[in-house]
Amino acid sequence: QRYRKFTPSSLRVAVDPTVVTKKEYQDICGTDFDGDSLEKRLSATKFLYPKHVEVIQDLEQAAADAAENILLETGEKAWQPQDYLPDLSKEGWEEEVKEFRAMAKEIPDDVFVVLVGDMVTEEALPTYQTLLNTFEGCDDPTGTSDSAWAKWSRGWTSEENRHGDLLNKYLYLTGRCDMRNIEVTIQHLITNGFNPGAKKDPYRGFVYTSFQERATKISHGNVGK
């Protein structure tokens, strides 16, 4: 009797041992390929990356400090987009807008192209918060969770929300952009979603977001220069 030779691909295993060693798999997932170990892990934790979650939980105090001391104040104490724009509720707003548009006329077209790109990126904020809530150990399952990571996520989102609001209103008031087409682009972007390949892993997720936030800071800084 002949026996069929099975390969990792024919067995359709989740992790190919020729690519990831057993030790690497155990380091990532906190278990090995043994069936009994898998059962124990699944009965003890709901996480795919329990060791990564342990580290994230150890960092919870740092997240709490960031939410309390580093993220900007909210509400009346914080700057708001309207602080930098003409106030259309006041008498004489027409002159304010005329002066505003006169200044905007001096800005080169290529700068406006970058501003539109920056604004579209900021307006995709719902997608980013959705992404944060997929990272194991730092999600916000109820939307009002009291954990430090959930508070940090909501605080970061509320802070970021003002950036898109300011850029959107600024571009609208300049009268130099096709705002409807920009709005169509933003709606498509949010509708289509976004997947950077973090796969619920908080390590992968925060590596991506760290680079993304740094790139955004550089882009906005260059526009300001």
Torsion of the alpha carbons at 154, 160, 162 and 167, rounded to the nearest 10 = -160
What is the DSSP code (8-state) at residue 4?
P
Q: Please, are residues 220 and 118 in contact by the beta-carbon 8 Å criterion?
A: yes
Q: How far apart are CA 22 and CA 18, in angstroms?
A: 9
Q: Please, are residues 198 and 135 in contact by the beta-carbon 8 Å criterion?
A: yes
pLDDT of residue 48: 87
Q: How far apart are CA 164 and CA 170, in angstroms?
A: 10
pLDDT of residue 53: 92
pTM of structure? 0.75
pLDDT of residue 74: 79
pLDDT of residue 70: 80
Tokens 């959705």 correspond to 130
pLDDT of residue 34: 62
Torsion of the alpha carbons at 197, 24, 135 and 205, rounded to the nearest 10 = -50
Element (H, E) at 165: helix 148-174
Torsion of the alpha carbons at 32, 33, 39 and 45, rounded to the nearest 10 = 40
Task: Output the DSSP codes for 100-162.
Answer: HHHHHTTS-HHHHHHHHHHHHHHHTHHHHHHHHTTSTTS--TTSS--SHHHHHHHHHHHHHHH
pLDDT, one tens digit for every residue, the chain (225 residues):
444 444 444 444 455 555 667 677 666 666 555 666 656 655 556 788 989 999 999 999 999 988 888 877 777 888 999 999 999 999 999 999 999 999 999 999 999 999 999 999 999 999 999 999 999 999 998 899 999 999 999 988 998 899 999 999 999 999 999 999 999 999 999 999 989 999 999 999 999 999 988 998 898 888 888
